[in-house]
Structure 1
Amino acid sequence: MDPQRSLEVRPDEAPRPTSTDRPYITIRHPAYPSTAPPLLQFRAVDRTWEGKKPVHAFDHDTALIACGIVTGNTWPNGYLGLKIRRNNTYLKLIETRGEVLRTHEEYYYFINDRTPATYKYPVVPSFDHWRFPHNELPKPWAEISISGLPPDFNRLGGAVGAIERDLGGEKWTEQNAHEVARLIPQKHEKWFLFNDMQNYRRSPRHLQPMDDLGNLISLRPKKLRLFQTCMFTVVPRKKRPDRVAPLVLRCFTPGDGDEYISLYHNHSAGVIIDMAKEYLFARFAMLMFRSDTMPFFQGEGATAEKMLDPRITWRDPVVPQGENEDGADSAPEGPLNRRKRKRSDSNEGNQAKRHNAEKEN
């Protein structure tokens, strides 16, 4: 990339490229060799112009927040950069409205501008090890405004309450049938309670915190299956620096071709009422720890891992393949079936070694 290239792009004006061979956007950890798996990779579901040619791309702000999530909520000081190979330096990308990442570039994520590129900053190995950033959501998530329910609505929670809420007073029929799913699935209940996510409940009278209205979404059956299998999720979209646009759908695993991208990507999420933005953000974060999105731990070399407790040696969970809790097939949500890795000499690794030595003595 030419450092003098203008960063002005027109992502909403470019017609969608017709190629179904949709490439990936790769974001690397600068301290690891080019042969190591990337930190994150995304299907290029957005688009922009290269001269007069529309090309596949990916939204810069979405990628930046995603990198911040998997490195322990480092987005306040984190940034993306490009490597200038002729002098082995990095060019920091300047945030501009509408900036996108392009498929022919290779990007690097830095947690701040004070640590050298050779620093092996730790990476969170799974969603269960990620800590929720209470009162520190990134923009534009922190600015989401979601309407509440009328005062006379019976806030009992549960599937019936979610369907009644999302139908907006319409009578349930076979023609407008809805089904319900949790934003944070039941299998992450320990994470939910450990991170005090019950503090964002909208219907406190309901006995099950994860069946609170703020954590439930109801959709038409076909659309719900796509949501459950992580084809898309709900995100805020910023059209102008001074205004937050309504919530939209963003595709992450759209499958082959452009069918689901054309049907859902960047389309309005519809009327979102009385959901907790904190649960929506947690859902977004959960998708970043899928093995197809974060291949970083699939390599053979040592890696620095950011743990909940640095004294605990993390082991890969054994997740059964097949149907998820809601009955829909989905890809695993974390890096699975990896070989046991040697921990790096990060602070976390050193503390773990000291702890083990103390136990032996």
Structure 2
Amino acid sequence: MVLVREPTQAPSPAQHQQLQILFRHPGYNDSSNVLFRLQATDRDDDGRPGLFAQLALDACAIVAGNCGSQGWLSLSRDGSAPIEPSSTLHARSYYFHLAAADDEPYPIVPNFGQWLYPHDRLPLHWQQLATNANVAPPTIALAPSNLTTALLMRDGSCRLSDCREQQQVAHVVPQSELGWWRANGMSRYNTGLTATLDDMANALLLRADLHIAFDTPRLAFVPKPATNGSMRLVAHVLGSSPEFELLYHNRELHPTAVGVDMLYARFAWSILPLLRAFLESDTDRRLTLRASDAPLADARGFVAAADCERFSTATNGRRSQSPKKRKPERDDVFEAEETAEFRPGSSRKRRCTADAANTPSDAILAKRPCRDPPLSAPSSEHTSSSLSSPLTPTSPPIDTSLSPQGPQALPTPPCPQLAQAWLEAERQRSDPDGTWNKEQDWLRRVWAGKTLSADEVECWFEGIGYEVREV
């Protein structure tokens, strides 16, 4: 007997007042001095919206170039009556002040690419996370190719929800930030011996939907005080999301050995894009820039409004606009990003899909002439001349009966050498990244004995001149 259960009910968060808190720069007019805004998701017992002041101070310190304890928040432009870091912010706007600021407005870091990591100057409450119970001791260090296996051994389940299904490997410092990673020497915090981002210290397991929220970013993992005064690693909801607030806001993470330095860098990665409106307000700004961009600033460090906007529209290290296909590593665990190794056939598959829409579905493979020029034969050390024929598919015979003038009227094929030279020139013009040559190299390796995975079989048939159709 089948027992039918009632439909699943969605979470029912209470209807609370919403508040976005503005953080202002006292060196500019109030009409154009809002640095960024944060959602007030740290609510009182009565539902009143607020924000943990220390978290706001951390965000402001990052924006101001890692000023550390030199800054404070105040309700007034003159900086009087500083706000206590352990308090909760409830007002609409606050000014962030610096003790060492001169007569000029203090400079701002415009995006993550320009931000320098504060080595050996991590805020004390972030350093305290390393001694807390919810940060587990590191386990065995495996090779980057075994990152998923290593995380399954270390974390076992999603570190926020504790679910064991639909897990994904979430990189803390995104893989798209490899240039920033190398420029700032972040590999010193790896638990393994390599310099890669695919290190245990820079990854944790998250359920698929939470991984998306982490990358959006709607979630950040930050330290907040527990009732006993110790700092705990918790999830902080950055945007307005009543359901996420109800389910995950201020939830302590399950034990994990993810690096605290990586988490601090990720917090900066999540905060700095919020400066976009400040940089696009048609006002010259005083910015902190890398040496390569320093010529854009004048002698006082001010950058023209048009150039400020350039920094605001930079990719800022965000995940690429089109998400990469996730490939299964083990059961329900998936890698978040593919490696840089060449993966053939993406463009071919798109053409194959278009062809399949106009062809019968009762056949899977149909022989046809190769769309690309014939692939040169593999080198002699891997194969003999008898093996090269499948790599050089020939065109089907021409039906001369369709020509009213007979076979004598058919054009003479052009010189093969000239045709090949023209094709090579066209490839150089239309394929500057050399994707076609990479595909040909891959086909040669397969023909020489490289083992094919299941998702590469279709690419192989496409490469040697077959059309793959959907059934």
- Normalising by structure 1, we get a TM-score of 0.72
Return closer, same or farther for 1:238/1:251 CA change in 2, 3 Å cut-off: same
Maintained 8 Å contact 1:24/1:43: yes
Distance 1:178 1:69 in 2: 31
Q: What is the deviation of 1:21?
A: 5.3
Unaligned runs of 5+ in 1: 1-16, 169-173, 328-361
Match of 1:266, SS?
coil
Q: In the superposition, relative to structure 1, how do residues 308 and 92 fare at CA in structure 2: closer, same or farther (>3 Å)?
A: farther
Partner of 1:182: 171
Q: Which of 180, 183, 206 is residue 191 of structure 1 equivalent to?
A: 180
C-alpha distance in 1, partners of 2:205/2:50?
30
Alpha-carbon offset, residue 209 of structure 1 = 1.0
C-alpha separation in 2, matches of 1:323 and 1:308: 28
Q: Does the CA contact (< 8 Å) of 1:234 and 1:250 recur in 2?
A: yes
| Partner AA of 1:46 in structure 2 | D
Return the structure number with greater relative CO, CA threshold 8 A, min gap 6.
1
- Bigger radius of gyration among the two: 2
Contact in 2 for aligned 1:46/1:59 (Cα 8 Å): yes
Q: Work out whether 1:137 is the aligned partner of 2:122.
A: yes
Which of 194, 204, 209 is the aligned partner of 1:217?
A: 204
Q: 1:263 aligns with which of 239, 247, 255?
A: 247
How well do the aligned residues superpose, as a CA RMSD in angstroms? Answer: 2.9
Uncovered stretches (5+) of structure 2, i.e. residues with no partner: 1-12, 158-162, 297-306, 327-471
Structure 2 length-normalised TM: 0.56
Partner of 1:42: helix, strand, or coil? strand
Which residue of structure 2 aligns with residue 81 of structure 1? 74
Deviation at 1:79, TM superposition (A): 0.6
SS at match of 1:281: helix
Q: Which amino acid aligns with 1:266?
A: N
Please report how far the alpha carbon of residue 177 of structure 1 lies from its aligned counterpart in structure 2 after TM superposition.
3.8
Q: How many pairs are equivalent?
A: 288
Question: Residues 160-184 of structure 1, C-alpha deviation per residue, up to 9 Å, x if partnerless?
Answer: 322332107xxxxx96342112111
Cα deviation for residue 96 of structure 1 reads: 5.5
Q: CA deviation at 1:318?
A: 4.7
SS of the residue 2:122 aligns to:
coil
* Contact 1:132–1:195 under 8 Å retained in 2: yes
Aligned position for 1:278: 261
- In the aligned structure 2, how far is the partner of 1:24 from the partner of 1:175? 35
Where does residue 321 of structure 2 map in the other structure?
Answer: 322
SS of the residue corresponding to residue 144 of structure 1 reads helix
Look up the equivalent residue of 1:81 and give its one-letter code.
S
Identity of aligned residues (%): 24
Contact 1:288 1:294 in 2 (8 A): no
Q: Is the 8 A contact 1:37 1:298 kept in 2?
A: no
Shift of residue 215, structure 1, vs aligned partner: 0.6
Match of 2:271 among 288, 308, 312: 288
- Alpha-carbon spacing, 1:326–1:217, altered in 2? closer, same or farther (3 Å): farther
Equivalent position to 2:286, from 300, 304, 327: 304
Q: CA deviation at 1:227?
A: 1.5
Helix, strand or coil for the counterpart of 1:80? Answer: strand
- Cα deviation, 1:190-245, whole Å, max 9, x if unaligned, reads 110000001001122x5x611011111111222222212211121111236x8423
1:304-332 Cα shifts (integer Å, max 9, x gaps): 011122634364355498345687xxxxx
Aligned with residue 234 of structure 1, among 215, 218, 221: 221
Change beyond 3 A, Cα 1:89–1:37:
closer
Please list the CA deviations of residues 251-298 of structure 1 after superposition, one character each: whole Å capped at 9, or x if unmatched: 11244xx111111110111121x211100110011111123x653212
